[in-house]
A and B are shown apart, each in its own frame.
Chain A
Amino acid sequence: EAQVTQNPRYLITVTGKKLTVTCSQNMNHEYMSWYRQDPGLGLRQIYYSMNVEVTDKGDVPEGYKVSRKEKRNFPLILESPSPNQTSLYFCASSWSSGEISYEQYFGPGTRLTVT
């Protein structure tokens, strides 16, 4: 089954404790992206990757890191989480072809609480 998976689905952590949220897709998509969703704000893009070893900032990259060493995986790293990073996080992937973008497939979400 074609899907985007995220782990963990729920996480409660404390300020300053480094964490990683994993994202994996089995559709051989070149493009992957991370978003956070907060009430009343819709989704905001954190980082995206056009292909392996190619990443770029979205609208809210501060406090986050990403890496794309393999095509299927795109982990999101919070080196020193703070309470304002409490949010619902989504990973997404899609095909890409030159200048043409396609619809994105979303993972189920990771609900993160930082106390």
Chain B
Amino acid sequence: SQQGEEDPQALSIQEGENATMNCSYKTSINNLQWYRQNSGRGLVHLILIRSNEREKHSGRLRVTLDTSKKSSSLLITASRAADTASYFCATAGDSWGKLQFGAGTQVVVTP
């Protein structure tokens, strides 16, 4: 069963615009992670946010976590064509070795 669900499923924006995608989950978590995947290649870790954190930044990325709403958001600011990829959220629960991924948001950034 999938824990995280991303929204929207697909997003098309122009270079320079911001991209926001959301992740909702069902049960309590130890941490939530965001990954990027380019066209069937391996996933690349972006940000890990722990259950006691509310916001984290990394370069042009900003992640928020609202445990009361069981949701997280990933914001990519000033997007570039190279940001075109699929983005996945993954949750680690109390048995933190188990990681559950959502189905992903496909982002296309056009020049």
Q: Are B44 and A106 in contact (CB under 8 A)?
A: yes
Q: How many residues on chain B are close to A (CB under 8 Å)?
A: 25
Q: Report the interface size class on chain A.
A: 20 to 34
- State the CA gap A22–B42 with chains docked (Å): 16
Per-residue interface assignment for chain A, residues 2 to 18, with 1 indicating a CB less than 8 Å from any chain B CB and 0 otherwise: 00100000000000000
Stretch from B11-19, B67-75, B94-102 at the A interface: B94-102
- The complex places the Cα of A101 from the Cα of B101 at a distance, in Å, of 15
Instruction: Tell me whether chain A's interface is mostly helix, strand or loop, or mixed.
Output: strand
Say yes or no: B98 contacts A106, CB within 8 Å.
no
Q: Known pairs A33-B97, A42-B104. 5 more at Cβ < 8 A?
A: A42-B88, A45-B98, A58-B98, A103-B33, A104-B33
Chain B interface (Cβ within 8 Å of chain A)? 1-2, 30-31, 33, 35, 40-45, 48, 88, 90, 92, 96-104
